[in-house]
Structure 1
Amino acid sequence: MLKIGEFSVLTSISIHMLRNYDKIGLLTPKYIDESTGYRYYESSQLPIANQIVALKMMGFGLKEIVELQLQEMQIDSLKELLKNKIEDKEQEVKVIRKQLAQMENALKDLASKREHALSIVTKCIPDRKVASFRMKIKEFPEEGVLWKILGDECEKMNIQFSDSKYSIAIQHEINFDENYIDVEVQRVVENIYEDTDKVKFYSIPSCEVASLVYQGGYSRLKDINLYLAKWITQNGLEICGPAFNIYYISPGNEVGEEKFITEVCFPVKKR
C-alpha cells in the first residue's frame, strides 16, 4: 500500500486535495489507520487518480467528476460525456471569440477617440401595453406635435399610465422622394382601452435590442444611428425591426437639450 504522501507524489495531487477528494467521495483511501489516522492507497487507484487529473485539465468540475462515478463508468458512457463536453466548450469558444471581437472594435473606437466606445449593450426590452399615435411629418422637430396630440387624447380619456418611464418614438419609414417621415409615438399604459380616431391601444411583445444611451441634443441622432448600425454588423447581428428611441429626459421635462437623456434602440437577432 502507498502512504498518502507517496500517492501524492505519484499522482501529482496534493495531500490537501487528496483529503478533499476523500471528503467529497471522489477518491477515498483503501485503508485508514485508526490509531494514527494515516491514509493508505493502493496502486490500483492510480489510474482513477490520473483520470481525475485528466478530466480536471479538460475543464470538468469536481462536482461533475464525482457524479461520473469513474470506477463504474463504461467506455460508451464516457465517450458520450466527452462529446457533450466538447459541444459545451465549442459554445464557450464562440462566446470568447465574440467578446474578443467586441474588445478589438472598442479598442479601435477608443483609439479614434469616439465618445461612444463601450456604450453599446444588448438587452431585452420587456413586453408592454401602449397608447400609440402615428402620423407622417416632414421633419423630426415636428415629432413634438405627435406627443402633444397623444398627451391631449390620453388626458381626455383619463388614461392611467404605467410606472414604466418608457416614452417611445418609432421611425417606421423615412421617404426622401416624397419628403415625409412616418413616426409613431407611444406611452406605456396599465390597460388596453378602446381605440379612438387618433389613439390606438395594443400590446407589444418583448424584444432583444442593441442599445446606446446618450446625453445631449437630437442633432446627434443621425451619427449615433450610423454608429449603432455599424456596431450591429461588426458583432454578428442583424436589424430585425424599426429603430426606436426611448426618451428619459426630453423637451417635455423643460430642460436644456444638453441635459436630454435618450436611448437609441435597434431590434436585433443573430445572423
Structure 2
Amino acid sequence: MLKIGEFASLADMSIKTLRYYDDIGLLKPVAVDPETGYRYYDYAQLARAYRLSAFKNMGLALNEIGELLDGKMTAGPTRRFLRTKRADLADQLRLLQEQIAYLDNKIYEVEMDGHMAAYEVMVKRLEPMKVLIARGAAPLKQDVGVTVANLRQRVAAYNAYPTAPDMAIFTAYIHPPTDIPIAVAQPTDSRVRLRGDDGVEEDIFPAMTVAAVIHTGPYDMAPGWVALNEWIQRNGYAIAGPFREIFLHDDVTDNSKAAFELQFPIKKVENPS
C-alpha cells in the first residue's frame, strides 16, 4: 500500500486535495489507520485518480465526475452529457476569443492615439422587429434633418405603442449629393389601420448583428460614424445593410442633451485581407 504522500506524488495531486476527495467520497483510501488516522492507497486506485483528473481538466464539476466514475450513467446519457459540456466549453471559448479581440483593439487604440477612443463599439444581435415605416428622400444634404422630422411626424400620427425608440435609416454611408434616400421606422406591436395615402407602411425587419456606438450632444455625428466604420474594417467585419440612427433622447430645445445610438449591420469577413 501507499502512504497518502506517496500516492499524491504518483497521482500528481496535493495531499490536501486527496483528503478532500476522501471527505466527499470521490476517491477514498483503501485503509485508514484507526490510531493515527493515516490514509493508505492502492496502486490500482491510480487509474481512478488519473480519470478523475482528466474529467476535471475537461471542466466537469466534482458531482458530475462522481457519477461518471461510479458508472451511474449508461452510454447514451454519458455521450449526451459530454457533448453538452463540449458545447458549453465552445461557447466559453468564443467568449474568450471575443474578449481577446476587444483587448487587442484597445491596445491598438492606445498605441496609435495615445489614449482610448472616444467611442466604445458594441456588437449585439437584434431580433426580428415589427415596425411602422415611412420612406422619403432629402433633396439636398442640408435637408436631411427636415426630411427626417417630417417622416417621424407621419409615423407618430398613428400613436402606436413603441416597443423601442424610433430610428432613421440611410442606405448609403456617404450621402449622394441629391435625392438622399431616408426612412424612419417606429418599432411597435400595435395593430394600426393604415391610411394608405401618407406613405406609412408596416414591415418586419429581419434579425441581424450590428456594431453600435453611443453619440451624445450636438447632432454632428460624423466622428461617431467614422469611428464605427474604422472599427468594422479593423476587426474583420463588413457593412451588411443600411445604417441606422436610433433616437434615444432627442431634445429639440437643447441638442447638447441629445443621445443617439449609431448602428451598422455587419457580417464577418471570412478571409479579411
TM-score normalized with structure 1 length: 0.75
Q: Cα gap change, 1:70/1:162 in structure 2, threshold over 3 Å: closer, same or farther?
A: same
What runs of 5+ residues in structure 2 fail to find an aligned partner?
none
Task: Look up the match of 1:230.
Answer: 230
Q: Does 1:258 align with 2:233?
A: no
Deviations 1:20-53, CA, capped at 9 Å, x for gaps = 2234443222234567654331122123324444
**Alpha-carbon distance in 1 for matches of 2:172, 2:9:** 72
Matched letter for residue 8 of structure 2? S
Q: Does 1:129 align with 2:125?
A: no
Question: After superposition, what is the alpha-carbon deviation per residue over 1:35-92, rounded to whole angstroms, capped at 9, x for unaligned?
Answer: 765433112212332444455456665455434428899xxxx9xx999999987876
Counterpart among 142, 145, 149 of residue 143 in structure 1: 145
Alignment-mate amino acid for residue 219 of structure 2 = Y
Distance 1:28 1:93 in 2: 34
2:52 touches 2:69 (CA, 8 Å); kept in 1? no
Structure 1 residues 228, 140: CA separation in 2 closer, same or farther (over 3 Å shift)? farther
Equivalent residues in 2 for 1:212-231 (5 A)?
212-219=213-220, 221-231=221-231
State the Cα RMSD in Å: 3.8
SS at match of 2:224: helix
Instruction: Find 2:267's aligned residue among 258, 263, 269.
Output: 269
Counterpart position of 1:180: 179
Q: Secondary structure at the match of 2:183?
A: strand
Q: After TM superposition, give the deviation of residue 264 of structure 1 in Å.
A: 0.5
Instruction: Note the C-alpha offset of 1:212.
Output: 0.5
Q: Which consecutive unaligned segments of at least 5 residues does structure 1 have?
A: none
Identity across matched positions, percent: 29
Structure 1 contact 174–181 (Cα < 8 Å) conserved:
no
Residues 227 and 82 from structure 1, CA distance in 2 versus in 1: closer, same or farther, beyond 3 angstroms?
same
Distance (Å, rounded) in 2 between the aligned partners of 1:175 and 1:12: 62
The answer as to whether partners of 2:169 and 2:242 remain within 8 angstroms in 1 is yes
Who is 1:169 aligned against? Answer: 168
Aligned to 1:2: 2
1:96-111 alignment runs, 5 A limit: 96-111=96-111
- After TM superposition, the structure 1 stretch with the greater mean CA deviation from structure 2, 233-242 or 53-62, is 53-62
Q: What is the TM-score of this pair, normalised by structure 2? A: 0.75
